[in-house]
Amino acid sequence: MSTPAETTASPEPRTVIVTGASLGIGRAIAEAFADLGWRIAIGARNAERLGEVVDSVGARGGKAFAHALDVRDELSVETFCSAAQEALGPIDVLINNAGGAHPGRLHEMSYDDIRFAIESSLIGSLFMSRCVVASMLENRVEGDVVFISSRSVGVSWPGHIPYAASKAGMESVGRALGQELEGTGIRVITARVGDTMGTGFANDWTTDEQQMSAYWAELGILRHGGVMEPPNVASAVVGAVTTPRAFQIDFLTVNAVAPTID
């Protein structure tokens, strides 16, 4: 019979890359791994914000390495991965969290906004996975590759079409990559995340773009006022990654509980 220690994660520190780690869900995931004493390489386009995350990771008992990262650019990806491994050693875990989008009706969106939504989530996760999986295989690492997806995949979400499409593509990548890596010791996990506040996702939205939330509420897409906070998502992701290696969580859905009705 298994003891409680045998059904939880090994305390052995691992080395993690978290993309889009300057704030929100990415930062919360980095901090959650720091609580385990792990080594965390954090990257984001806004490198100026990474200093705070490095301090937080260190205060929680982790070891952090920070470097600018634009997951849409292959040179940036290769540079980041090489620097992370030089600083922390072979990578055990990749968290594909980076992403972004501006809302709007498709026929009114700029080509740049459409391209940004697809590249920052889908192309970025492909570039990062290519780089890190190659390293894991070369170093014979039993690792985990995680894709942070969105509830937008499971519903019809007008006004957010490129973003939803990018996350649907990400989930397809996760399914196929999981099969591609069977027998290698590398697990692939997809986490479909529901409504979360405090992510910074809409920080650069215009006033008109922010008003799309009212439109989504009218359509019933935002069904109730229940929302999560980034640490809630981080807890679920860390739980999936730290499951014993005899099994894996291929797909998990993380949603907020509806507010209690008095």
Residue 63 annotated as catalytic: no
Measured CA to CA in angstroms, residue 151 lies from 65, 156, 168, 179, 196 at distances of 31, 10, 10, 23, 10
Length of the chain in terms of residues written: 262
One of 76, 150, 163, 166 is an active-site residue; which one?
A: 163
CA distance 243 to 217: 36
CA distance 201 to 193: 13
One of 22, 150, 166, 167 is an active-site residue; which one?
A: 167
Residue 167 annotated as catalytic: yes
Beta bridge partners of 228: 196
Tokens for 69, please give them: 């990262």
Tokens for 256, please give them: 């907020």
Query: DSSP class of residue 159?
Result: T
Tokens for 102, please give them: 């501006």
Tokens for 62, please give them: 């982790």
One of 120, 125, 129, 149 is an active-site residue; which one?
A: 149
Residue 149 annotated as catalytic: yes
Catalytic positions, written as ranges = 149, 163, 167
